[in-house]
Structure 1
């Protein structure tokens, strides 16, 4: 086919082989028919047969080989050269032996492989009516010949054009499908890129929450303990040693969290016990590191939660206690884990100065806490006010 009708290996070339077998079959049948036409002189029949065989050889060398070599993407000059040679041999055979017209269907079939649709139409009309014109040139009863050649030419031409349009439509559909597949592949590539970017952004957000809820809070505790140690070294060595032990323990826990974060594992506080144990340890640590009165209550055995839900509740407890320690100026803090309406609820209350939950904040704590809860189908609510006291509630499905 011409360059405007690209072929795709191996389907089109396999189809081409079928058409070439058809060409060869019709050629053999025509050669046999010519030899059986005893009314024609033997030299003319032999010459016509030789020209038909030469036409097939011309097609094979100048048509088939370029089609196979370029997977059907032959240029217009190459296609014109191949068709011109085939037609010259075909018309020469007709001049010698009119019976050579039997090969017309196979010649027409190859035209559509070698020329563009518009050029093929011109060639098909010429091929269809050429046997009749040559017959008229031989003389005889013109009326009878016209009555025979014109209907035959019209039928051949109509069938050939229908076949050509059908083949062209199939090729055009394949071309459209190729373009569609390329666009689909490009769309998939774009979706993959966007998904990768979205996944990267989500992972960055997750790491930001993890760092904020674990390492940053741990370093804050270490800084506070070091400051306490500095003030106690001369006045209360025993308290300084106790705070030094707490500093070392906090540093080790921070190191464990960092290792777990790098390995994308469950938080270290949950690997060594249950969620209730982890929450109690957070309360005990706050009580040991500060002068706050901290209470922790667990209502009954908690149901087994998904790891993601346990992480949400643990991080919420850590963030709430961290905020209380830094901002609330409270004297008492209470933590409670309970089951309410098939949900596990964490409640953290303090008697501090309170704040406006709706006011703009530059910190990441509450926003990250809310985002975590939404990811597991839970929710966060905060109740506070100017009169003091704050209550933070996180619920996740049980």
Structure 2
């Protein structure tokens, strides 16, 4: 028995799923320790409930896809609208080098995924869903590419596989980052910080606040422009800035809709969400470069995070977990191999190319975080190292900038190229 839910009920259920996830993350230490997003925590519980209703009573649910698609496009537009290439100057050469490194790893991650999927008798496209789509891309990218793989390439269960792989990546990225960095730091001979026993509590608190400010670049001009890695931070926005920001989103989405139609059937045909991201990038940088427009990043951040949360909640309650039954074994093998590849790349490549010093060890921890999971995981990995061994201003400047938006631009480009390869 199929139950159809219109847009109103789909939105209501998505908000309830999000609130359930918020409650679970606050109450379950494992979820908070590994930075599991609130809509993912609640959505997975909802997906299990839907699975049980289907298995025992034969019920299935059809949710309105148009609303889910709209929130997805707004999320990717927000990434583009946040991608200020002028900030590249703040990171300098190390930021450029790290971005190239991350790009190379995305290609490697997809190559490993496709090779392993073919070896295990799966569709090569399944390798992309267990590659950068879900691991570097996270739940948002998984939710965007999943329906495309299902409709255009006939890959059954791609969305469900993507969400499961992305959840695995969050946990794995949080588990491997700190051990990799600690081994590198120990190899460098750096000792943990020592706090004098006679230091007062006030002095300790002052030191901790000073360390936090250094790590998070609080004194920098870009303070307050933390995109996506701290979704619960309070951002003060006004009615006029809200309307201005919605106009920017509308322009990005209109650009995406027009370009999707123009490019259809041509060699530069791209998924609509990629055009939304690209439109945001163009609008942002044209307005700031040629018209000196003051972009209201806080409002963009709020809309982006809210859209992502609702999109993920809707995507997860739409999962059909029964489609994963036959894939569980091979998928776990691929993800285990991807984890080993991430460890080796961070240890032998990221660390060495970024300088073979303390900063590069912290960067390796961050790369493990968003190379397997997401930017919050990367930040948590780095904090676990800097809290013990000292601040790394360089790492905390570079990783959030690359992990928050530059990596998504690169990932979308690489994935588009992979889907066009003849053996796919």
Sort the TM-score into its range (normalised by shorter chain).
under 0.3
Q: Which gives a bigger RCO, structure 1 or 2 (Cα 8 Å, sep 6+)?
A: 2
Name the one with the larger strand percent.
1
Structure whose alpha-carbon radius of gyration is higher: 1
Tell me the TM-score normalised to structure 2 length.
0.19
Name the one with the larger helix percent.
2
Tell me the TM-score normalised to structure 1 length.
0.20
